[in-house]
Chains A and B, each alone.
Chain A
Amino acid sequence: MVILFKIKLKVLFVLKVMVQGFIQIILTLILVILITPILGSYIANVFLGKSTFLDRFLKPLEARLFPLFGLKIIEATNTTGVQYAKDVVASNLIMGVLVFSILMLQGFLPLNPTELDAPSWDLALHTSISFLTNTNQQHYSGETTFSYGSQVLALGFLMFTSAGTGLAVAIAFIRGITGKRLGNFYVDLTLCITRILLPISIVGAIVLIISGVPETLSPPITVTTLEGANQVIATGPVAHFEIIKELGENGGGFFGINSAHPYENPNPFSNLFTILAMMSIPTSLIYTYGVFAQNKRQGWLIFWMVFSIFAFLVVISAVGEYQGNPLVNNLLGDTQPNLEGKEVRFGWSQTALWAVMTTGTMCGAVNGMHDSLMPPGGFSVLFNLFLQIVWGGQGTGTAYLFIYLILAVFLTGLMVGRTPEFLGRKIEKPEIVLASVILLVHPIAILIPSAITLAFPETLAGISNPGFHGLSQVVFEYASAAANNGSGFEGLGDDTLWWNLSATFSLLVGRYVPIIALLLLADNMSRKQKVPLNAGTLRTDTKLFTGVTAGVILILGALTFFPVLALGPIAEGFAF
């Protein structure tokens, strides 16, 4: 009788843990869905030139500032796709050189209370490119490598501009495919920062400070612990760094262990708040597209398509973590969720949710170690990086979604007996060439360096776990770089010349090749004569076509990486 009661209690407890975890996830997702149309239409208003509440303060300032750079008022400037791309590359190059110089010279610069010296040139290169490309892949620990000055002025600066660059490109892309002129990069970048990133960051940073995140320029604090030992507690200007880290899908932590650090992410509230910051722009931008295309229905259809894939990944990851590690559970003789590599403040469900979100949105911040995820979680995070569209990076993710839509139209659209057209514009050879370039970027930037590294595991890789898991670590590192995510599977000794340089290659190819292709493609589309819709036109805003697109995404995007997924997390999963 007593035993039976105990079992019953146990079952109830297990049920409670599970239900609690999933309810947390569901509530978070509902908030994400609620934010989407609000922020989405705000972004659309900003870039459609409608007046927004900040205009009153900023317009007069801009009116005086813009002429200094030869820019006219916002609505009046347009450039071609080529010019837009040139502006992106040129401005990024200048910013990159600037930041690289700051990092190398940090020993001579102010705001360096811990008197940190210059890092190695390859680490500085990797770090500047990594932040420049909105990736924030870190081959270092922030608090022991870079001074406050480097973090705030150099890296923090790039966190805004790189997020703004991605967003601006996405807006130009959306303008192009909906038949508008592309706009002007500098104007768009300014709008991204002044109307979206900066205002939300200021409010967000205050919220984070209230929830307990430090914001100080004072040096690390030395305390005496209860045992009488001396402990140095790193601190710094964290709060403002933290909010743009999430909002801009940057992901580079102020501290080495990122959002698992109690000063970056002190409690469940800050966790929820940063999750929402992380998810808001990539989800909202799909809605923004709907406004631009005057077809909100299509915006929502695409949103729900991505949401379905996303929810599936969240569920398998959460279940995987909840069921726990069979090896550990066998030892314990008990069923416990997998809590290795997790902050118990957040538990299995919030960590699983975070992991899928951070890899999906290309944020790359972590609140638990991906290396410790169970194989379904490992599968999900890799899958996200390969596809880049389960929300996708700041701006670019939404644009990639449309590349898949265009490819789906091209492949299946012929079946209605017309040459394929998307949003009334014909898809012809130049567009297919450009879309194909984007399709090729990932295999080139992920598989090729992975193969080289794995060919010389001893000399190059520095893998901590051999076998399938080690394979996942290596592939993840390049996938994270190429997808401009920045999170790591960890466990790699990655601050080596090889890793720094090869990852830099993936970062650059994964960022700028697609951006240029996207802009040229949008430019082409915007110049096409629009064909009117009629009964013979393939409608892309139907459930059927959205389903077809999902199929194309899975076949073209995911099958490419099926072998490495099979040999990495899938094989690992079967090995348990």
Chain B
Amino acid sequence: MNKSLKSKRKNGTKPQNKGLYLRAISQSFVKLNPKLAIKNPVLFLVWVGTVVTFIATINPSIFGSTDTGDQRIFNGLITVTLFLTILFANFAEAVAEGRGKAQADALRATKSETIARKIMADGTTQEVNSTSLRRGDHIKVIAGDVIPADGEVIGGMASVDESAITGESAPVLKQPGTDIASSVTGGTRIVSDDLTIRISVDPGKGFIDRMINLVEGAQRSKTPNEIALTVLLAVLTQVFLIVIATMPPVANYVENPVSIAVLISLLVALIPTTIGGLLSAIGIAGMDRVAQFNVIATSGRAVEICGDINTLVLDKTGTITLGNRLAEEFIPVNGHTMEEVAEVALISSLFDETPEGRSIVDLANQLDVDTNCDRHGATGIEFSARTRMSGTDLSNGIEVRKGAVDAIKGFVRSRGGNVPEKLDQVYEKVSRLGGTPLAVCQKDEIYGVIYLKDIIKPGIRERFDQMRRMGIRTVMLTGDNRITAEVIAQEAGVDDFVAEATPEDKIEVIRSEQAKGKLVAMTGDGTNDAPALAQANVGVAMNSGTQAAKEAANMVDLDSDPTKLIDIVTIGKQLLITRGALTTFSIANDVAKYFAIIPAIFAGTGIGALNIMNLGSSQSAILSALIYNALIIPALIPLALKGVEFRALTADQLLQRNILIYGLGGVIAPFIAIKAIDVVVTAVGLG
């Protein structure tokens, strides 16, 4: 998992954990405020129980029992244990929140109020406070400025240091008009030249603000699954409340009255305090993990959905293959030499600034091929999706083109030329290698084919194999021809592919998958990806992408690394697994707690044989169960924050594994732990 290490924030903004625990401890007490406590029904009940046992400590006979000072000590111990239970649960939440806050503080530091140069309607600039900027305002920023808000570059060209949000220290070139490099993020710093920017968000709504809100948990609304689980936990609590509330008449009837403190102990032991105490910490920690991966999610819901994703729609370029195809070979046809092909290819790429064009020039240079044509009189013909070719018109009127093979065929025919037979063979050969064939021609003659090689990212195949095991289908989208796409799809191990895809195909693929009831995740960056990002259940936009794409997505990857979609899915699953594992563990614990407390309470009725743990005395049994109940919360905090280790297994294997650890473990562990605590409690004479 060196991937995860790499994408963690590297410099400057590393969250400060110093004082985190001290702050969490003080927060644990702040959270005792009943107004806050009532949000968690399970723990609120413990809270009420603590107050009642506290009263019973001060005056043991207030609820009718007629016991001695001994009772007072016992009640006191119960009160302390219950109080600790609440504190521990509060602490778990506070630590999780604290980590988020530390991260948020680091982010906030980048967002100090600045002076912005606003361009007024008459074209003059005026200095205003950055917080007064509104969506649609135009501003000017010059070298050294912190960009005051998210926006789109509409003029100028400059390099921008985005390390504050991405951790990447190399500055990024920003200029208008391009899809990728025209959006800027508030809080980043412009290091050279100047830009004119149109502000795209109102204050407090920018990415950094969203990120801060999210990691701080300020706007954390519970996710649907969390709400459903809270409901179930509340109902279980109610069931046990009825069980305990109806117990006094039953106990009295069999002439074995039970004191109020003992009843409350049993109640607290039975209600799901462990998961109740850790539930929100798990949720916050999950969001935190996403943020650590340098991804901004618009909601916790989006992270949760990641776990349910059935289909990943992935762009080939940048996700499955390394970003750029490189020229590998010139293959002549029509009886030309390789040098001739190289020269024509070189001429066609004179004005081509794309990495592919550069690599053609490099390859030609490596072959010591140069051209003596006149650059100054020549004009570059840009690539367009319609013509699917680019090239150069020389000053003497000669047209040189390179492009998709059938596009070049058409071009040559339109100029009255012929298509050599060998071309199709070469086309197929290159395609079968998984490469992209580009035909080159001069005037009406095809000279040969440039073999552009695609390099599949190392390790991607294994990732897709994992996905398949988890039941996730991967669909590759590419503009390549069918044969190339098929070869790459097979090499990379994707389940399906769409060749010669247009942006419209993307949304079509998503819709057709969704129609089958599947949830789809995709990444995108261009403006024309926006509808697909909005249509997908999880849309991850690249931070380098357009504003439109980012608005449409429900996550933004600050590192602009499309492979991360796979990591995000894993985080989503891990979040759900952690929640499920601790819920199962918490409920399975009840068996042992029952067997500790019921025989202890009703020892007088002769059911002592149920005391299978052979606990010291009835008081020590009750105390031990309660102490276990309290201590298990801090013991599980690291697991809740870190998340259960995720393995790419099938659902059945995962269930088997986790049921064994958290289900069966949850039944057995407390038997051992309660017995151990009982030994200690008896030894120090508390029981």
B110 within 8 Å of A (CB atoms): no
CA distance A234 to B263 in the complex (A): 52
CA distance A475 to B227 in the complex (A): 34
- Mark out the residues of chain B between 291 and 337 whose CB falls within 8 Å of any chain A CB in the assembled complex: 304, 307-308, 310
With beta carbons under 8 angstroms apart, the residue of B590, B646, B663 that contacts A559 is B590
Query: Across the interface, which residues of A come within 8 angstroms of B587, CB to CB?
Result: 411, 555-556
Query: Across the interface, which residues of A come within 8 angstroms of B251, CB to CB?
Result: 567
> Contact flags (1/0) for A556-574 with B, using CB distance below 8 Å?
1001111110110011001
Contact: B239 with A415, CB < 8 Å? no
Which of B192-200, B377-385, B453-461, B469-477 interfaces with chain A?
A: B469-477
Query: Across the interface, which residues of B come within 8 angstroms of A542, CB to CB?
Result: 652
CA distance A413 to B646 in the complex (A): 15
CA distance A570 to B236 in the complex (A): 24
With A455-B249, A551-B663, A566-B607 in contact, is A414–B576 under 8 Å at CB? yes
- Mark out the residues of chain A between 418 and 436 whose CB falls within 8 Å of any chain B CB in the assembled complex: 418-420, 424, 427-429, 431-433, 436
Query: Across the interface, which residues of B come within 8 angstroms of A545, CB to CB?
Result: 655
Query: Across the interface, which residues of B come within 8 angstroms of A571, CB to CB?
Result: 254, 602, 605-607
Residue of A with least CB distance to B586: A411
Query: Across the interface, which residues of B come within 8 angstroms of A555, CB to CB?
Result: 587-588, 590-591
- Mark out the residues of chain B between 197 and 233 whose CB falls within 8 Å of any chain A CB in the assembled complex: 224-225, 227-229, 231-232
With beta carbons under 8 angstroms apart, the residue of B249, B308, B518, B655 that contacts A532 is B518
A347 within 8 Å of B (CB atoms): no
A440 within 8 Å of B (CB atoms): yes
B497 within 8 Å of A (CB atoms): no
With beta carbons under 8 angstroms apart, the residue of A427, A471, A536 that contacts B471 is A536
Residue of B with least CB distance to A565: B598
Tell me the interface secondary structure of chain B in the complex: helix
Contact: A415 with B242, CB < 8 Å? no
- Mark out the residues of chain A between 443 and 471 whose CB falls within 8 Å of any chain B CB in the assembled complex: 443-444, 447-448, 450-452, 454-455, 457, 467-468, 470-471
Contact: A454 with B249, CB < 8 Å? yes
Contact: B224 with A429, CB < 8 Å? yes
Contact: A447 with B242, CB < 8 Å? yes
With beta carbons under 8 angstroms apart, the residue of B249, B304, B518, B651 that contacts A538 is B651
Query: Across the interface, which residues of A come within 8 angstroms of B517, CB to CB?
Result: 424, 529-532
Contact: B224 with A535, CB < 8 Å? no
Query: Across the interface, which residues of A come within 8 angstroms of B651, CB to CB?
Result: 416-418, 535-539
Tell me the interface secondary structure of chain A in the complex: helix
> Contact flags (1/0) for B461-495 with A, using CB distance below 8 Å?
00000001111110000000000000000000000
Contact: B310 with A531, CB < 8 Å? yes
B624 within 8 Å of A (CB atoms): no
> Contact flags (1/0) for B11-31 with A, using CB distance below 8 Å?
000000000000000000000
With beta carbons under 8 angstroms apart, the residue of B238, B470, B516 that contacts A535 is B470
A544 within 8 Å of B (CB atoms): yes
CA distance A451 to B244 in the complex (A): 11
Shortest beta-carbon distance from B478 to chain A in Å: 24
Q: Give the interface size bracket for B toward A.
A: 35 or more
B573 within 8 Å of A (CB atoms): yes
With A415-B658, A429-B227, A566-B610 in contact, is A451–B598 under 8 Å at CB? no
Contact: B246 with A574, CB < 8 Å? no
Shortest beta-carbon distance from A530 to chain B in Å: 5
With A414-B580, A544-B655 in contact, is A440–B246 under 8 Å at CB? no
CA distance A432 to B235 in the complex (A): 10
B87 within 8 Å of A (CB atoms): no
> Contact flags (1/0) for A505-547 with B, using CB distance below 8 Å?
0000000000000000000000001111011111100101100
Contact: B518 with A531, CB < 8 Å? yes
A410 within 8 Å of B (CB atoms): yes
With beta carbons under 8 angstroms apart, the residue of A534, A556, A570 that contacts B610 is A570
Shortest beta-carbon distance from B303 to chain A in Å: 12
Contact: B655 with A412, CB < 8 Å? yes
Contact: A444 with B580, CB < 8 Å? no
B583 within 8 Å of A (CB atoms): yes
CA distance A565 to B665 in the complex (A): 26
Residue of A with least CB distance to B243: A560
A interface size (C-beta, 8 A): 65
Shortest beta-carbon distance from A474 to chain B in Å: 8
> Contact flags (1/0) for B256-296 with A, using CB distance below 8 Å?
10000000000000100000000000000000000000000
Contact: A432 with B470, CB < 8 Å? no
Query: Across the interface, which residues of A come within 8 angstroms of B518, CB to CB?
Result: 531-532
With A440-B238, A532-B516 in contact, is A447–B246 under 8 Å at CB? yes
Residue of B with least CB distance to A552: B587
B247 within 8 Å of A (CB atoms): yes
Contact: B580 with A427, CB < 8 Å? no
A1 within 8 Å of B (CB atoms): no
Contact: B516 with A536, CB < 8 Å? no
Contact: B607 with A416, CB < 8 Å? no
Shortest beta-carbon distance from B42 to chain A in Å: 14
Contact: B516 with A418, CB < 8 Å? no
Contact: B239 with A417, CB < 8 Å? no
CA distance A30 to B457 in the complex (A): 61
CA distance A561 to B246 in the complex (A): 11
A17 within 8 Å of B (CB atoms): no
A118 within 8 Å of B (CB atoms): no
Contact: B307 with A417, CB < 8 Å? yes
Residue of B with least CB distance to A573: B607
CA distance A468 to B574 in the complex (A): 49
Contact: A447 with B243, CB < 8 Å? yes
> Contact flags (1/0) for A481-512 with B, using CB distance below 8 Å?
00000000000000000000000000000000
A439 within 8 Å of B (CB atoms): yes
Query: Across the interface, which residues of A come within 8 angstroms of B232, CB to CB?
Result: 407, 410-411, 432, 436
B577 within 8 Å of A (CB atoms): yes
With A418-B573, A454-B250, A454-B253 in contact, is A439–B662 under 8 Å at CB? no
Residue of A with least CB distance to B234: A436
With beta carbons under 8 angstroms apart, the residue of B227, B228, B574, B605 that contacts A417 is B574
Query: Across the interface, which residues of B come within 8 angstroms of A450, CB to CB?
Result: 246, 250
Contact: A562 with B662, CB < 8 Å? no
Contact: B225 with A419, CB < 8 Å? yes
CA distance A444 to B240 in the complex (A): 11
Contact: B228 with A544, CB < 8 Å? no
With A454-B249, A544-B655, A559-B591 in contact, is A535–B235 under 8 Å at CB? no
Query: Across the interface, which residues of B come within 8 angstroms of A448, CB to CB?
Result: 242, 246
With A451-B250, A574-B606 in contact, is A563–B663 under 8 Å at CB? no
Shortest beta-carbon distance from A211 to chain B in Å: 44
Query: Across the interface, which residues of B come within 8 angstroms of A428, CB to CB?
Result: 224-225, 228
Query: Across the interface, which residues of B come within 8 angstroms of A544, CB to CB?
Result: 652, 655-656, 659
Query: Across the interface, which residues of A come within 8 angstroms of B577, CB to CB?
Result: 414-417
Contact: B250 with A412, CB < 8 Å? no
A575 within 8 Å of B (CB atoms): yes
Residue of B with least CB distance to A444: B242
> Contact flags (1/0) for B597-612 with A, using CB distance below 8 Å?
0110010011111100
Contact: B470 with A536, CB < 8 Å? yes
With beta carbons under 8 angstroms apart, the residue of A419, A531, A535, A539 that contacts B469 is A535
With beta carbons under 8 angstroms apart, the residue of A439, A535, A564 that contacts B650 is A535
A35 within 8 Å of B (CB atoms): no
Residue of B with least CB distance to A530: B517
Residue of A with least CB distance to B664: A551
Query: Across the interface, which residues of A come within 8 angstroms of B310, CB to CB?
Result: 531-532, 534, 536
Contact: A538 with B242, CB < 8 Å? no
Query: Across the interface, which residues of A come within 8 angstroms of B235, CB to CB?
Result: 436, 439-440
Q: Can you give 11 contacting A-B residue pairs, CB < 8 Å?
A: A411-B580, A415-B577, A428-B225, A436-B231, A451-B250, A452-B249, A454-B253, A468-B254, A532-B516, A561-B243, A566-B599
6 A-B pairs with least C-beta separation: A536-B471, A414-B580, A417-B573, A451-B246, A534-B471, A535-B471
A412-B659, A548-B659, A571-B254 known; 16 new pairs, CB 8 Å cut-off, are: A410-B232, A415-B655, A415-B658, A416-B655, A418-B576, A431-B228, A432-B229, A451-B247, A470-B253, A534-B473, A537-B471, A551-B588, A563-B247, A566-B599, A574-B606, A575-B606
